């Protein structure tokens, strides 16, 4: 049976551990023209990605110890936890000068209050110098690498502009696993053009990985204002969202539909895979659809009822 993140943390550490959202100051190669696809540089990022690079809640980049202290102060209002996950989510946190990144992350892992380092990145940003840095960091503290795969289907990935193919992910997964680094994969349900069986195929594929997948983050597609996907979505509404026109193939799931799908997906996961997230957490001021995801408590209650027997 797959396990909740809270179960895993309790088992491994025996105490409360909270996540601190931090910024590394990195950008993303999918936005700055470094990735060339079909002879053209990609500069617009994934079509669902907002200005904040999928991490609106991360602070601006300032001295890392100051960021950590500030984030801890905010959390202290809610908890008395003294151990934390240093979580770098937005943009691509292994992209940039490796010397600078080594210095930054070394300062993080040397702190006693940080028990896990978690870095969100792309599988095409794990060159040999980066891998050496990660190996060294992982010898000092548990390291999680989060990869934004979203789907295994090339057509969908091309359409939203992911900028790498599945074999790049497979290679990264193999190299990280060989170093004993834990991998968390992000999956989005509801990408335009995907059927329910396409989405479950992505989960089946991840469930068949060797070594077995450490962690997964599931979320529903969120249409955020100001993104390319927002423009596509508006034009699809004009055409009729469920029309046969591939340009108009958006299907925004209801809360019931989404939570049923998550339960089906979780039932497919290998024993012990850790479910780090089950629903999207986009900024409410940018969210266009689905509006039900604003009521996070209700969504989580529904998810918890539907996964009671398949998630410990």
Which chain residues interact with ligand SF4 by CB under 6 A? 28, 30-31, 45-46, 49, 53-54, 91-92, 122, 148
Vertex 294: Cα angle to 289 and 295 (nearest 5) = 135
Give the residue with the Cβ less far from ligand SF4, 9 or 28: 28
Distance CA 190, CA 252 (A): 7
Of 166, 106, 175, nearest in space to 145 by CA: 175
Instruction: List Cβ neighbours of 119 (8 Å cut-off, separation of 6 or more).
Output: 24, 88, 93, 94, 105, 143, 144, 145, 146
Q: How far is the CB of 230 from ligand SF4 (least distance, A)?
A: 14
Distance CA 151, CA 146 (A): 14
Give the residue with the Cβ less far from ligand SF4, 28 or 133: 28
Distance CA 6, CA 10 (A): 6
User: What tokens appear for 177 in the block?
Assistant: 């696993």
């Amino acid at each position: 049976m797959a396990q909740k993140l809270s179960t895993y943390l309790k088992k491994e550490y025996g105490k409360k551990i909270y996540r601190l959202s931090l910024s590394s100051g990195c950008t993303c190669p999918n936005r700055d023209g470094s990735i060339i696809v079909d002879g053209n540089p990609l500069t617009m990022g994934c079509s669902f990605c907002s200005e904040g690079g999928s991490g609106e809640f991360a602070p601006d980049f300032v001295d890392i110890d100051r960021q950590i202290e500030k984030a801890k102060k905010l959390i202290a209002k809610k908890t008395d936890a003294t151990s934390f996950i240093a979580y770098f989510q937005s943009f691509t946190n292994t992209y940039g000068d490796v010397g600078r990144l080594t210095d930054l992350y070394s300062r993080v892992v040397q702190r006693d209050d940080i028990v896990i380092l978690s870095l969100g990145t792309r599988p095409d940003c794990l060159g040999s110098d980066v891998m050496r840095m990660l190996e060294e960091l992982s010898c000092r503290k548990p390291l999680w690498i989060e990869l934004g795969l979203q789907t295994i289907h090339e057509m969908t990935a091309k359409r939203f502009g992911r900028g790498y193919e599945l074999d790049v992910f497979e290679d990264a997964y193999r190299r990280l696993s060989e170093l004993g680094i834990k991998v968390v994969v992000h999956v989005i349900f509801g990408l335009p053009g995907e059927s329910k069986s396409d989405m479950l195929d992505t989960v089946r594929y991840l469930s068949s990985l060797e070594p077995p997948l450490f962690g997964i983050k599931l979320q529903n597609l969120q249409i955020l204002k100001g993104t390319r996907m927002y423009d596509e979505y508006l034009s699809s509404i004009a055409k009729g969202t469920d029309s046969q026109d591939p340009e108009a193939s958006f299907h925004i799931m209801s809360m019931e539909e989404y939570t049923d799908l998550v339960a089906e997906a979780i039932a497919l996961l290998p024993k012990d895979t850790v479910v780090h997230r089950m629903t999207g957490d986009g900024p409410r001021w940018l969210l266009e659809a689905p509006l039900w995801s604003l009521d996070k408590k209700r969504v989580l209650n529904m998810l918890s009822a539907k996964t009671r027997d398949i998630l410990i």
